[in-house]
Chains A and B, each alone.
Chain A
Amino acid sequence: MNKFFSNRRLVIVIVCLIVSFGLMSVSVAIRNKRSTPPLVQQFGNDVVGLVNRVVAWPVSGLKGSVTGFSDLMNTYQENQRLKGQVQELAQTKVHDQAVNQENQKLKKELKLNHSLTDYSPVTANVIARTPSAWQNQVIIDKGEAAGVKKNMPVLSGSGIVGRVSEVNRTNSKVELLSNSSESANRFAVTITTKSGKTVNGILSGYNHDKNLIEMGNVTSKTKIQKGDKVATSGLGGVMPAGLFVGKVASTGTDNYGLASKISIKPATNISELSVVTVAVRQAQTTN
């Protein structure tokens, strides 16, 4: 042991430790404060991301053929189930179109350009996932060049799955809702109850054991029931309003018994992503 920690080695170890902690704290500070990483890091990420797509191509091809086969086996049952849904959907779609047109006309009359619900979608492929248990993070193949900005919400399937945490020129990192870090999950949401009342709040965490999103610090006396829909409220930042988050799974009080704590079942499976949509808000942003 004496031999291992000779003077020279000890100095090297301590210097390495200091440099390591320094680098970590600087990069976390930059990540929290600035909207884009330093230019060198951005350039490195872009180059690495470019080759990533080339290597990912055969892997996704292989996976596609395997899942294609298993999908084929399930086609019949799925078809039966979907037929029922399609008729219902057609009706909703027509109604939606009519409402949308009406909405546009009314907005024109009021001389409103973009309200909080307007967003333009940017579709992106997931090219890699961070191989770490501490950061539930994926890398997508669209970046600043496609209009993606930090903190924009990311959707998949019918609901929200996370937010953009780092933007490079041609790729960006997306922090998923299941992330337990202290800077994540601060989405402003609103719950619409069955009686039409709304309750505003902020998502505060994620329960990994039950796969539920948690929303704390709700002091409203409005009665929230299981199955009530939760959507983004569009208050603050670059988040559009009306993005579906999930449905209320259970309600209770927090550890101190003062405010109520609401568990939300996410609208989509957060861990399974291949194509995602970044929602770019069209109304003016506040940050």
Chain B
Amino acid sequence: MLRVTKLRYGFPIGLLLFFYLDGILGAAFPRQLFSAPYAMSSYLVVLWLVLSVFFEDELQIPLTVWAAIAGGFFDVYYTGIWGIFVFVFPIVVALTRACYKAFPINFLSGLLVYFIDITVICTLSYFGNLVVHMTSASFADMLVDSLAPTLAYNLAAYVILYFPVQWLFNRLRN
């Protein structure tokens, strides 16, 4: 189904754009995003994947595969350590799909699902980094310094981008 709509170009381009924006926004606005000890990690690429789950309808985009690809690039290019996001992103997509089946998705319930998604990403990436000794921060520090600001930033991004992305998907589908 994906093949016949304009989304076959639109979806990968959007994914690529949001992937790069994650790193570029951090470099362009370091004072706002990384004022020590707080660190807001931008996960716009996950927002694009999650919103695709919400808006794909009957299109059936192979989102888990795309999530693994995006996660792989995220690992290699941004962190330099293989094996964390390449698994975390598909898990989040699967989780969002499960939630989508469990209850009707609208703007508010979608916000809650995205809240859960970001929490899962932050926690799993924290444990991943802890295991390979890339961090020595305590769990409490992680909650206050990383999870809370990251949630605030990403939920704000969701609120701002939900309707524009919905409009874009509707436009590209027809």
Binding site for B on A (CB under 8 A): 16, 19-28, 31, 37, 41, 44-45, 48-49, 51-52, 55-56, 59-60, 63, 126-139, 165-166, 173, 178, 180-182, 208-209, 211, 271-274
Contact = CB atoms under 8 A, between A and B. Distances in A.
Nearest to A19: B83
A31 B129 CA distance: 14
Contacts of B87: 16, 19-20
Interface of B: 16-17, 20-31, 33-37, 39, 41-43, 73, 76-84, 86-87, 125-126, 128-129, 131-137, 142, 145-146, 150
A55 B79 contact: no
A271 B30 contact: yes
Nearest to A26: B82
B162 to A, nearest CB: 20
A274 B29 CA distance: 10
B27 to A, nearest CB: 4
B103 to A, nearest CB: 17
Contacts of A19: 83, 87
Contact of B30 (A134, A139, A166, A273): A273
A133 B39 contact: yes
Given A51-B20, A55-B17, A271-B31, A130 B136 contact: no
B73 A44 contact: yes
A134 B17 CA distance: 24
Given A24-B82, A59-B24, A131-B78, 18 more contacts: A24-B84, A45-B77, A51-B16, A55-B20, A55-B21, A59-B28, A128-B23, A130-B78, A130-B79, A131-B23, A133-B137, A134-B135, A136-B34, A139-B27, A180-B137, A271-B31, A272-B31, A274-B27
Per DSSP, chain A at the interface is mixed
Contact of A28 (B29, B37, B86, B134): B134
Given A132-B79, A138-B27, A180-B137, A52 B37 contact: no
Contacts of B24: 52, 55-56, 59-60, 127-128
Contacts of A136: 34
Contacts of B36: 178, 208-209, 211, 271
Q: Which of B25, B145, B146 has the most CB of A within 10 A?
A: B25
B82 to A, nearest CB: 4
B30 A127 contact: no
A37 to B, nearest CB: 7
A22 B126 contact: no
A208 B29 CA distance: 19
Given A51-B16, A134-B134, A211-B36, A23 B42 contact: no
A173 B79 CA distance: 9
A160 B131 CA distance: 29
Contact of B82 (A27, A60, A271): A27
B149 to A, nearest CB: 8
Given A24-B83, A27-B80, A133 B31 contact: no
Nearest to A166: B80
